[in-house]
Structure 1
Amino acid sequence: MAIEIRVPALGESVSEATVGQWFKKPGDAVKADEPLVELETDKVTVEVPAPAGGVLGEIAVAAGETVAVGAILGHVRDGAAGAASTAPAAAAPAKEAPLKQTEDATEAPKAVKAESAGNAKPEPAGGGMPPSPAARKAMDEAGVDAGDVQGSGKRGQILKEDVAAAVEKGQQSHASAAPSAQSTASQAVAYAAAPAPVPLQQMRAPSVTSDAAREERVKMTRLRQTIARRLKDAQNSAAMLTTFNDVDMSAVMAMRSQYKDLFEKRFGVKLGFMGF
């Protein structure tokens, strides 16, 4: 039985969206309400959850394509039977694994065990849940890895607040180690010799080829496209210029000087140029 994954209602006056990315691939097991795909609109970014648990079937719309509200994004197939049939077959190797690991542990030297323990990778944070779009953007800007952030969202999902807390924690630890590092650096600078001047042969102007290699063109999101379109419309409809007009205010200034004291005594306020 296949259950359709459709584009949900995206709000008033929003009739279409762009597929950002798929969090799962065809054949992956999914849980109910687990985020499957990210949709970008002119206003917000929405995550579409799985309508039911099972296995992700075919993906009808690839990333980068535009879809309308109510369109079919893919299907979720019932994978309970397949999971139940493969469970006994996977249980037998799991029982034999501890015995084999025990024999290998007795024969392996201690140095090998210490090295394997040091190379063990920590379990990724978030319980397998992908970070939210805002959290993913914050991690890219701060240069933080997802394994260093403890998620506090639903099923351990990493939120934007979790990224901010991890960055603040890292800054505090860096600040505590700063005095010792500064003292060591000051001693090194005191005893270090002056750096040798760079020869003129090694200095060259940046080439066009090297600058072009560093360029990266990234497709704008729907929100950025809307902002750019609105700015261009404003530039096309409004006059982008400044005008100056010269006015002879000699007579007005003379009249103000003549009546400003009398005006202030009668009305209690000063006579300004705006009154003319």
Structure 2
Amino acid sequence: MAIEIKAPTFPESVADGTVATWHKQPGDAVKRDELIVDIETDKVVMEVLAEADGVLGDIVKGEGETVLSGEVLGSLKDGETASAKPEAKSEAKAETKPEAKAEDKTAASAASGEEPLLSPAARKMAEENGLAAGDIAGTGKGGRVTKEDVMNAVEAKKNAPAKPAAAAKPAAAEAAPSLGEGDRVEKRVPMTRLRARIAERLVDAQSTMAMLTTFNEVDMKPIMDLRKKYKDLFEKKHNGVRLGFMSFFVKAATEALKRYPAVNASLDGSDVVYHGYQDIGVAVSSDRGLVVPILRNTEHMSLAQVEGTIADFGRKAKEGKLSMEDMTGGTFTISNGGVFGSLLSSPIVNPPQAAILGMHKIQERPMAVNGQVVILPMMYLALSYDHRLIDGKEAVSFLVAIKELLEDPARLLLDI
């Protein structure tokens, strides 16, 4: 009996998806709950698993094709085994049989001069780290190179002993003739759905919002002293969860959002929706682009819960395992460009939210304190906001509230 393989049901905010990677080919044996195909949306990569044991039949939607919610991707022959598959007539065909080991496939590819198969995510990661497909040992089905294989190859490359300078020169001399003097190399790759969606939303935000940005600066010394004093005890108390700066910003923003509800509001058509809870999105960089998973009900979260959840989001983003639920919703966003060295920027609001807080690099600067010049670790803060919902007075007061809470952390505990 043939079972239809269908695309997942997408949320209302996701119109369609793209077939990213088929992990099985027609005739391959499939186990129940085994990953068959990845569907890339503008938010996450969704996995489609087998409903039963059997053999993969025809593929209706190939890699790179657009699919709608619930659309048929292919078929699964329920109850059949790979032995029913016709025997390969050539050595090349035999190499693609499911019984073939990944090592045999990789070796055969190397011998024939063919590159191992890479998933789109694995190929992008390999290119970013300067690795050729032939440099990576594939452990996936049929010798396919996975993201984990690329990560292992990157680590191996980092840990490999440096080659003597004398040995490096001949290699450079050999590579030189491949490009003539003055040659200018270009590479064209399709934009990922996530990147395209980010671009679309940012352009839409700038063209539809009355967006303004207000700036302030915060003395980070109180937070840094507090963190230095208690970080070891904090990590021991909370089972390895590290105390960072982001949890203080999340808690400070949560308190400020309570005081200024308009900053926590959103626009729905001609209605303003005031949220009686604080769901804060934290911008996280991933191989596929910037993603914003959501911390739910931060008003009820402790510093340890905030740090632990953010660390978990970071791991998921790196492994490409953030779910649609992780990314949906949010009443406010915090973006930390400081981790990349940004000293000052104007973040763009993420609709339908009304505001976004931008953190930046901590930089020592001379500051006037009680008539004396003191060197302090300072950070610029930026609040971009939709002027249709938020007045300038509210925006400035909101940012000042965050500044005061961070410069005197006891206020967070005393609720003052």
TM-score by length of 2: 0.34
Task: Write 1 or 2 for the structure with the bigger share of helix.
Answer: 1
Task: Write 1 or 2 for the structure with the bigger share of strand.
Answer: 2
